[in-house]
Amino acid sequence: MRKLSSPRSSATARIAVSALAPALAGCDPVIDIAGANFPGWLVCAIAGIIVAAAMRPLFVALKLEPHLGPLMIVYPCLALLAACATFLIFFNRI
């Protein structure tokens, strides 16, 4: 038989999520571009996609692309790496 979760653990989880949601929402930097406000993560995601797209011709020219592995995994991971690096470079608050 499957054990049901206790009401106490689900209440604790709800309290934890309710407490963390405002804290996580306040961490997002906002960028003003031509009078419109864009979240920082969106700009970083776009930069990551552009970097990954720019790296593909380089990999093809150096004949590295056949050795990269599954390309459907490599290029999104490269875009994610570039997006995280962009976020750390431009939005580091330390």
Q: How confident is the model over 63-83, as pLDDT tens digits? A: 999 998 899 999 999 999 999
Nearest to 78 by CA among 88, 66, 68: 68
Q: Is the dihedral of CA 64, 66, 67, 72 positive or negative?
A: positive
User: What is the DSSP secondary structure assignment for residue 91, as one 8-state letter?
Assistant: S
Q: Tell me the residue ranges of DSSP E strands in 2-91.
A: 30-33, 36-39
Sequence spans of domains, the chain: 29-90
Q: What is the pTM of this model?
A: 0.65
Q: Rounded to whole angstroms, how far apart are CA atoms 25 and 45?
A: 18
pLDDT tens digits for range 30-73? 777 787 877 888 889 999 999 999 999 999 999 999 998 899 99
